[in-house]
Amino acid sequence: MTTTAPATAKGASTRGMLLGRACELAARLGLEGVSIGELASAAGMSKSGVFAHFGSREDLVRQTLDWAAGSFTTQVLEPALRQPRGLPRLQAMLDGWIGWILDHPEGCVFLGAATEYDGRPGPMRDHVAELLERWRLIVERAVAMAVEEGHLRAGTDPALVSYQLHGFMYALHHMRLHQPQADVLARAAVRDLLDRLRAGAGPARSPR
């Protein structure tokens, strides 16, 4: 009796390997630098072998970004969601986010894509913006839950805090190029902000 399961499993494994290599290329060259030919060379495969897994270069680039998003979810978001609601969960998300950036010394695919596609209207720019906005809202909701749980003081603006936290992470991504202690400063900036917003930390100042 014959079955297609082994071939399917092998194909999925190969595709996962290719997308991992494509993410490595994107970190060095940008998503626009990812091509069937470049990926084939990096993976030691023929172009036709790589092309069999992707319908087009555009499909490859989009799937590369989505694969990176899946990895981010697995490594950063899912462990944080296992923490208690409120500040412990928010802190775990931020620790994981910093760890993700530091684990990708050649560049974070998402933040690189944000720069790469910012001035290039089209489907890929829209997709990058959608992924980044989804994460922004997740961080904002985590801040809101910390307020609801009484861990952060009442009146804290979740949208503003999410914006500030994103600023810290974007700075870490770019300033590590020339600031040797960028990671230390990023953690200190996060700690300082959350300490000032803790319930009972003092009178709240209007954020707007």
pLDDT in tens, 134-187: 999 999 999 999 999 999 999 999 999 999 999 999 999 999 989 889 999 999
- In the 8-state DSSP scheme, what is residue 117? H
List beta partners, residue 152: 198
203 assigned to some structural domain: no
For residue range 36-81, list pLDDT tens digits in order.
Answer: 888 888 888 888 888 888 878 889 989 999 999 999 999 999 999 9
What is the share, in percent, of the chain residues with pLDDT greater than 90?
55
Q: What's the CATH code of the domain at 139?
A: 1.10.357.10
Question: What are the C-alpha distances in Å from 52 to residues 15, 56, 57, 63, 126?
Answer: 10, 9, 11, 14, 26
Total count of domains within the chain: 1
pTM of the full predicted structure? 0.84
**152 φ, ψ to 5°?**
-115, 150
Domain membership flag for residue 104: yes
The DSSP letter of residue 154 is T
**Integer Cα distance of 189 and 166 in angstroms:** 11
pLDDT at residue 132, as a whole number: 94
202, part of any domain: no
Q: 204 in a domain, yes or no?
A: no
With bands split at pLDDT 50, 70 and 90, how would you rate the model's confidence at 110?
confident
115 falls within a domain: yes
Domain presence at residue 207: no
Number of H helices, E strands in the chain: 10, 0
Owning domain of residue 104: 5-197
Structure confidence at residue 10 as a pLDDT band (50, 70, 90): low
Q: Which residues pair with 198 in a beta bridge?
A: 152
Q: Report, as an integer, the average pLDDT of 89-118.
A: 91
Confirm whether 147 is domain-assigned. Answer: yes
